[in-house]
Structure 1
């Protein structure tokens, strides 16, 4: 939790989130650990694994792991009776997954899941431009979402 979204969560939420997150072991790409939200205005934090270490080398996010992480978060939200959930652009920071591909995978996974039986009432994707990402690229998330909403109404 030293950079990106994780660092922001830690800074705003408190050190105990990190302590609690470290109690989850044997997690792989696409898995999700759940912790309390401590000082944040949420009940839970879902920590999606987008970087893994295997025998001293890093394994980065893939389409499959982003899809699995998104789906795992949604299923956990339902099992915990969560009505709203907020996602960052999974894997697009330190894990270096392409923003455009993350948008495609996440929007498709969210759309397919939300068409089924779920207690989730609201999904928010929150995006922040970072070095190397133009603000206009963030529209890769917004435009497909708006299209999906229009076609489902």
Structure 2
């Protein structure tokens, strides 16, 4: 499995799946979640509503998939990252679950390329260094069968520097 690093906008990444740092309502929000919903169009929201009607909200650490609407991807995998509250062990395990469950869901969909944003490091205030370490370790330790490439998409300079260091 190759790991790539890109600084940019995840809504412009061409991959089989992009991951959305969603909130538990799955109805869109701020940050990357809002950007994906805006760029992807109403089809993504409609599918999120169907998922909610079936299962209720999406719990922290879990992942669900929709089509990608107008995005240059086939799927959007929505995962709910933890809000940082200082409980490092509990929050770290939940963030690890986000990456692992997204990868497992991608495998079940036969996905070859998947792009991740920096989950929980924006408004959820997860410390960027710790979040990067968890993301990279979880991806590196994942036993992939169909996934050939994972792309970490960093929106800001801080995350890009952190991931560059972690991937060297």
Q: TM-score range by the shorter chain?
A: 0.7 to 0.9
1:23 shift after superposition = 2.8
Q: 1:13 to 1:137 in 2, by over 3 A?
A: closer
1:36 corresponds, among 67, 79, 84, to: 67
Once the two structures are overlaid, the 10-residue window that deviates more, 10-19 or 136-145, is: 136-145
Higher relative contact order at CA 8 Å, sep ≥6: structure 1 or structure 2?
A: 2
Inter-partner Cα distance in structure 1 for 2:48 and 2:125: 22
2:118 corresponds, among 89, 107, 111, to: 89
Greater strand fraction, Structure 1 or Structure 2: 2
- The alignment of Structure 1 onto Structure 2 pairs a total of residues equal to 131
Residue 6 of structure 1 pairs with residue 33 of structure 2: yes
Identify the residue that residue 16 of structure 1 maps to in structure 2.
Answer: 43
| TM-score, normalised with respect to structure 1 | 0.79
Inter-partner Cα distance in structure 1 for 2:104 and 2:152: 17
Identify the residue that residue 18 of structure 2 maps to in structure 1.
Answer: none
1:6 shift after superposition = 0.8
1:65 shift after superposition = 1.1
Identify the residue that residue 104 of structure 1 maps to in structure 2.
Answer: 133
Q: Conserved in 1, the CA contact under 8 Å of 2:82 and 2:95?
A: no
Identify the residue that residue 138 of structure 1 maps to in structure 2.
Answer: 160
Structure 2 residue runs without a partner (length 5+): 1-27, 84-89
